[in-house]
Amino acid sequence: MNSIPGRRVIISVFLIFLLLPIYWLVNMSFKTNGEIVSTMTLWPHQPTIANYMRIFTDESWYSGYINSLKYVIINTVISISVALPAAYAFSRYRFLGDKHLFFWLLSNRMAPAAVYALPFFNLYSAIGLFDTPWAVALAHCIFNVPLAVWILEGFVSSVPREIDETAFLDGYSFPRFFIKILVPLIASGIGVAAFFCFMFSWVELLLARTLTSVDAKPISAVMTRTVSAAGMDWGLLAAAGVLTIIPGALVIWFVRNYIARGFALGRV
């Protein structure tokens, strides 16, 4: 009843449309530069893993991945731990200025990163965090914390408040209730929120590039090195691109059952 005519065709065509450019990148990453430039081949005729080997053996390359993962993980941990209590407060209580505060938080999720690039550069240079993963992690909080609050608020609201009341009657203190009862109940919500923080921090380039120079350089900035005087190193660029897709794909696999609800910000 809830299907539409030709749905198999539609979904197949759309998935092919999504996968084709990714396939092309994977395809190129296994080719030599000579093969890429000289011939048009639908699969690598002389498959090579030289591009990947270079990334795994050259420190300036693989440290980019480590740096990216560092700030993404720091950011996710900070965002979730501050957003949890706030989400609970927004879901359960009415307090002075709550609506305005919520909109103000959201408005930060909407602020263009380009606006903040320069002031952040000044701010984090002034407090000595420039070129550390902490600077990027804190900068990314500006859009991840509001998003985490938004998602978690939806999930907390779906927990009946009778559960809170029963727990308090049973003599649970607030922190104990929070950790022992609420957190396990919304575990899937926390997973989804963490997924989103990971995602938005992982894909962001502008702030990450502006706030780092040498030591904490993220992979997205390292990738620009493939442009050299000798022309583009297409194979290497493609291999580096493929490797940035893998962490995301792994994370999706873990949250696949909650992903749809999570994208609706816990609000369906």
Partner 1 sequence: MDKTINNKAWFLVLPVFLLVAFSAILPLMTVVNYSLQDTFGNNQFFWNGVGWFKELLDPSTDLGGRFLASLGRNLVFSAVILAIEVPLGIVVALSMPRGGWTVAFCLVTLALPLLIPWNVVGTIWQIFGRPDIGLLGYTLTSMGIDYNYVSNDVDAWVTVIVMDVWHWTSLVALLCYAGLKSIPDAYYQAAQIDGASRWAVFTAIQLPKMHRVLLIAVLLRFMDSFMIYTEPFVVTGGGPGNSTTFISIELVKIALGQFDLGKAAALSLVYNLIILIVCWVFYTIMTHAGTERRPAEGGA
| Of the candidates 213, 198, 187, the residue with the CA atom closest to the CA atom of residue 252 | 198
Q: Is residue 187 at the binding interface for partner 1, with CB under 8 A as the rule?
A: no
| Complex with partner 1: residue 180 or 267, whichever CB lies closer | 267
Decide: 244 and 219 in contact? Cβ < 8 Å.
yes
Select the residue interacting with partner 1 from 1, 169, 214, 230 (CB under 8 A): 1
Dmax (CA) for the chain in angstroms is: 75
- Beta-bridged to residue 227, according to DSSP, are 232
Cα angle: 178, vertex 78, 153; to 5 degrees: 50
Query: Which span (43-51, 56-64, 181-189, 203-211) binds partner 1, by CB under 8 A?
Result: 203-211
Site residues (CB under 8 A) for partner 1, limited to 235-254: 237-238, 241, 244-245, 247-249, 251-253
| Site size toward partner 1, by CB under 8 A | 104
Q: Does 230 bind partner 1 (CB under 8 A)?
A: no
**Among 54, 63, 70, 117, interactor with partner 1 by CB under 8 A:** 117
| H/E segment holding residue 231 | strand 231-232
Does 118 sit near partner 1 (CB under 8 A)? Answer: yes
65-84 residues in contact with partner 1 (CB under 8 A) are 78, 82-83
Told to check if 24 binds partner 1 by CB under 8 A, we report yes
Q: Least distance from C-beta 216 to partner 1, angstroms?
A: 16
Applying CB under 8 A, which of residues 55, 80, 139, 236 lies at the interface with partner 1? 139
Query: Is residue 191 a contact residue for partner 1 (CB under 8 A)?
Result: no
Q: Does 204 bind partner 1 (CB under 8 A)?
A: yes
Contacts (CB under 8 A) with partner 1, residues 35-64: 36-37, 40, 42
Distance of CA 45 to the CA centre of its chain: 35
Residues 6+ apart with CB under 8 A from 54: 61, 236, 239
**How many whole angstroms separate alpha carbon 137 and alpha carbon 69?**
10
Question: Toward partner 1, which CB reaches closer, 54 or 248?
Answer: 248
Q: Taking CB under 8 A as the rule, which mask of x and - marks residues 142-161 in contact with partner 1?
A: x--xx--xx--x---x---x
Residue of 91, 264, 139, 140 whose CA lies nearest to 192: 264
Sole residue written with tokens 């407060």: 89
Residues in Cβ contact with 69 at an 8 Å cutoff, skipping those fewer than 6 apart:
247
What's the closest the beta carbon of residue 182 comes to partner 1, in angstroms?
12
Residue 213 DSSP class:
S
Asked if 96 is part of the footprint of partner 1 (rule: CB under 8 A), the reply reads: yes
Rounded to 5 degrees, φ, ψ at 4 are: -120, 155
